[in-house]
Protein backbone atom coordinates (compact mmCIF):
# COMPACT_ATOMS: atom_id res chain seq x y z
CA UNK A 1 0.00 0.00 0.00
CA UNK A 2 1.26 3.46 -0.85
CA UNK A 3 2.13 5.37 2.31
CA UNK A 4 1.08 8.67 0.76
CA UNK A 5 -1.84 7.33 -1.27
CA UNK A 6 -3.62 5.74 1.67
CA UNK A 7 -3.73 8.96 3.72
CA UNK A 8 -7.17 10.59 3.79
CA UNK A 9 -7.63 14.17 2.60
CA UNK A 10 -9.67 16.35 4.94
CA UNK A 11 -12.01 18.80 3.24
CA UNK A 12 -12.29 22.06 5.22
CA UNK A 13 -15.51 24.04 5.59
CA UNK A 14 -16.27 26.32 2.64
CA UNK A 15 -14.79 23.91 0.09
CA UNK A 16 -17.03 21.90 -2.21
CA UNK A 17 -15.70 18.79 -3.93
CA UNK A 18 -17.57 17.40 -6.93
CA UNK A 19 -16.72 13.91 -8.20
CA UNK A 20 -17.91 13.09 -11.71
CA UNK A 21 -16.42 9.75 -12.75
CA UNK A 22 -12.67 10.37 -13.01
CA UNK A 23 -12.96 14.18 -12.88
CA UNK A 24 -12.52 15.88 -9.51
CA UNK A 25 -13.56 19.53 -9.16
CA UNK A 26 -12.63 21.52 -6.06
CA UNK A 27 -14.17 24.93 -5.43
CA UNK A 28 -13.25 27.25 -2.59
CA UNK A 29 -12.78 30.89 -1.65
CA UNK A 30 -9.59 31.28 -3.76
CA UNK A 31 -10.94 29.74 -6.96
CA UNK A 32 -11.90 26.52 -8.71
CA UNK A 33 -9.62 23.71 -9.90
CA UNK A 34 -10.26 20.41 -11.68
CA UNK A 35 -8.19 17.30 -12.30
CA UNK A 36 -8.81 14.10 -14.24
CA UNK A 37 -7.67 11.00 -12.37
CA UNK A 38 -5.81 8.36 -14.39
CA UNK A 39 -7.40 5.02 -15.17
CA UNK A 40 -7.13 2.59 -12.26
CA UNK A 41 -7.40 5.27 -9.57
CA UNK A 42 -10.79 5.94 -7.96
CA UNK A 43 -11.88 8.48 -5.38
CA UNK A 44 -14.60 8.26 -2.75
CA UNK A 45 -16.00 10.77 -0.29
CA UNK A 46 -17.12 10.00 3.24
CA UNK A 47 -18.35 12.95 5.32
CA UNK A 48 -15.47 15.46 5.31
CA UNK A 49 -12.69 13.22 3.94
CA UNK A 50 -11.61 12.00 0.53
CA UNK A 51 -9.96 8.62 -0.01
CA UNK A 52 -8.17 7.42 -3.14
CA UNK A 53 -7.89 3.73 -3.98
CA UNK A 54 -6.13 1.88 -6.76
CA UNK A 55 -7.51 -0.96 -8.84
CA UNK A 56 -4.57 -3.37 -8.49
CA UNK A 57 -1.01 -3.72 -7.26
CA UNK A 58 0.55 -3.19 -10.69
CA UNK A 59 3.58 -0.92 -10.63
CA UNK A 60 1.97 1.86 -12.66
CA UNK A 61 -1.09 1.87 -10.38
CA UNK A 62 1.17 2.01 -7.33
CA UNK A 63 3.11 4.97 -8.68
CA UNK A 64 -0.03 6.89 -9.71
CA UNK A 65 -1.75 6.28 -6.37
CA UNK A 66 0.45 8.59 -4.29
CA UNK A 67 0.77 11.12 -7.10
CA UNK A 68 -2.98 11.43 -7.54
CA UNK A 69 -3.52 11.83 -3.80
CA UNK A 70 -0.89 14.60 -3.65
CA UNK A 71 -2.43 16.43 -6.61
CA UNK A 72 -5.92 16.38 -5.08
CA UNK A 73 -4.55 17.47 -1.68
CA UNK A 74 -2.70 20.35 -3.38
CA UNK A 75 -5.94 21.39 -5.08
CA UNK A 76 -7.77 21.49 -1.73
CA UNK A 77 -4.97 23.51 -0.14
CA UNK A 78 -4.76 25.83 -3.14
CA UNK A 79 -8.42 26.85 -3.06
CA UNK A 80 -8.31 27.47 0.70
CA UNK A 81 -4.90 29.08 1.35
CA UNK A 82 -3.35 29.56 -2.08
CA UNK A 83 0.30 29.34 -3.09
CA UNK A 84 2.97 32.04 -3.21
CA UNK A 85 6.45 32.31 -4.73
CA UNK A 86 8.80 35.24 -4.28
CA UNK A 87 11.53 36.32 -6.68
CA UNK A 88 14.37 38.81 -6.16
CA UNK A 89 15.92 40.96 -8.88
CA UNK A 90 19.59 41.87 -8.56
CA UNK A 91 21.46 44.24 -10.85
CA UNK A 92 21.92 47.94 -11.54
CA UNK A 93 18.84 49.26 -13.34
CA UNK A 94 17.01 45.92 -13.15
CA UNK A 95 13.40 46.43 -12.05
CA UNK A 96 9.83 45.18 -12.34
CA UNK A 97 6.69 47.30 -12.71
CA UNK A 98 3.10 46.07 -12.42
CA UNK A 99 0.93 46.66 -15.49
CA UNK A 100 -2.73 45.70 -16.10
CA UNK A 101 -1.65 42.70 -18.23
CA UNK A 102 1.13 41.49 -15.91
CA UNK A 103 4.67 42.82 -15.51
CA UNK A 104 7.04 45.07 -17.40
CA UNK A 105 10.64 44.11 -16.68
CA UNK A 106 13.85 46.03 -17.30
CA UNK A 107 16.61 43.41 -17.18
CA UNK A 108 19.59 45.04 -18.86
CA UNK A 109 18.53 44.32 -22.43
CA UNK A 110 18.08 47.06 -25.04
CA UNK A 111 14.30 46.66 -24.68
CA UNK A 112 11.90 46.10 -21.81
CA UNK A 113 10.16 42.75 -21.48
CA UNK A 114 6.38 42.48 -21.11
CA UNK A 115 5.29 39.34 -19.24
CA UNK A 116 1.59 38.53 -19.52
CA UNK A 117 0.18 36.70 -16.51
CA UNK A 118 -1.92 33.60 -17.25
CA UNK A 119 -5.46 33.36 -15.89
CA UNK A 120 -5.58 32.61 -12.17
CA UNK A 121 -2.19 34.20 -11.39
CA UNK A 122 -1.75 37.51 -9.59
CA UNK A 123 1.61 39.24 -10.03
CA UNK A 124 2.69 42.04 -7.69
CA UNK A 125 5.90 43.99 -7.21
CA UNK A 126 5.95 45.43 -3.67
CA UNK A 127 9.39 46.88 -4.47
CA UNK A 128 11.00 47.36 -7.89
CA UNK A 129 13.46 44.56 -7.04
CA UNK A 130 11.00 41.91 -5.86
CA UNK A 131 8.18 39.98 -7.50
CA UNK A 132 5.41 38.07 -5.70
CA UNK A 133 3.40 35.40 -7.55
CA UNK A 134 0.07 34.32 -6.02
CA UNK A 135 -2.38 31.70 -7.24
CA UNK A 136 -4.43 28.66 -6.33
CA UNK A 137 -2.78 26.18 -8.73
CA UNK A 138 0.56 25.03 -7.32
CA UNK A 139 1.94 23.85 -10.67
CA UNK A 140 0.99 27.08 -12.45
CA UNK A 141 2.55 29.27 -9.75
CA UNK A 142 5.79 27.29 -10.01
CA UNK A 143 5.71 27.44 -13.82
CA UNK A 144 5.28 31.23 -13.86
CA UNK A 145 8.12 31.62 -11.34
CA UNK A 146 10.38 29.43 -13.51
CA UNK A 147 9.48 31.39 -16.67
CA UNK A 148 10.23 34.73 -14.98
CA UNK A 149 13.54 33.41 -13.63
CA UNK A 150 14.37 32.09 -17.09
CA UNK A 151 14.14 35.58 -18.60
CA UNK A 152 17.43 36.51 -16.89
CA UNK A 153 18.86 33.69 -14.73
CA UNK A 154 21.44 34.79 -12.14
CA UNK A 155 24.96 34.76 -13.52
CA UNK A 156 27.81 33.36 -11.42
CA UNK A 157 30.27 36.30 -11.53
CA UNK A 158 28.31 39.27 -10.18
CA UNK A 159 25.04 37.48 -9.31
CA UNK A 160 22.92 39.74 -11.54
CA UNK A 161 19.54 38.40 -12.66
CA UNK A 162 16.30 37.02 -11.23
CA UNK A 163 16.49 34.46 -8.43
CA UNK A 164 14.09 32.77 -6.04
CA UNK A 165 13.90 34.38 -2.60
CA UNK A 166 16.57 32.78 -0.44
CA UNK A 167 18.30 31.02 -3.35
CA UNK A 168 22.08 30.79 -2.98
CA UNK A 169 24.04 31.47 -6.16
CA UNK A 170 27.40 29.80 -6.51
CA UNK A 171 29.86 32.57 -7.23
CA UNK A 172 32.97 32.22 -9.38
CA UNK A 173 36.17 34.19 -9.19
CA UNK A 174 36.84 36.52 -12.09
CA UNK A 175 40.04 36.81 -14.07
CA UNK A 176 43.15 36.71 -11.92
CA UNK A 177 45.33 38.60 -14.41
CA UNK A 178 46.51 42.15 -15.12
CA UNK A 179 47.23 44.48 -12.23
Going 20 to 26 to 31 to 36, the CA torsion angle's sign is: negative
Q: Tell me which residue range forms the domain holding 89.
A: 83-164
Q: Are residues 40 and 100 in the same domain?
A: no
Are 175 and 158 within 8 A, CB to CB?
Answer: no
Top-confidence residue, 179 or 166: 166
Q: Are residues 97 and 157 in the same domain?
A: yes
Q: Are residues 76 and 88 in the same domain?
A: no
Q: Is the pLDDT of residue 2 over 90?
A: no
Concatenating the DSSP letter of every residue in 21-85 gives TTEEEEEETTEEEEEEPPTTEEEEEETTEEEEEESS--HHHHHHHHHHHHHHHHHHHHHHT-EEE
Q: What is the pLDDT of residues 77-110, one digit of tens each?
A: 999 999 999 999 999 999 999 999 999 999 999 9
pTM, entire model? 0.89
Q: Is the pLDDT of residue 179 over 90?
A: no
Q: Is the pLDDT of residue 136 over 80?
A: yes
Q: Return the CATH number at 28.
A: 3.90.930.12
Amino acid sequence: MSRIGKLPITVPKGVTVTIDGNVVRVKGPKGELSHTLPAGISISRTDETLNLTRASDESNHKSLHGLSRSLVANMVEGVTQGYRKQLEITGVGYKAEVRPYGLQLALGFSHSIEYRAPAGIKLTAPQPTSIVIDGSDKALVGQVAAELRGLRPPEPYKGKGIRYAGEQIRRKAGKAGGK
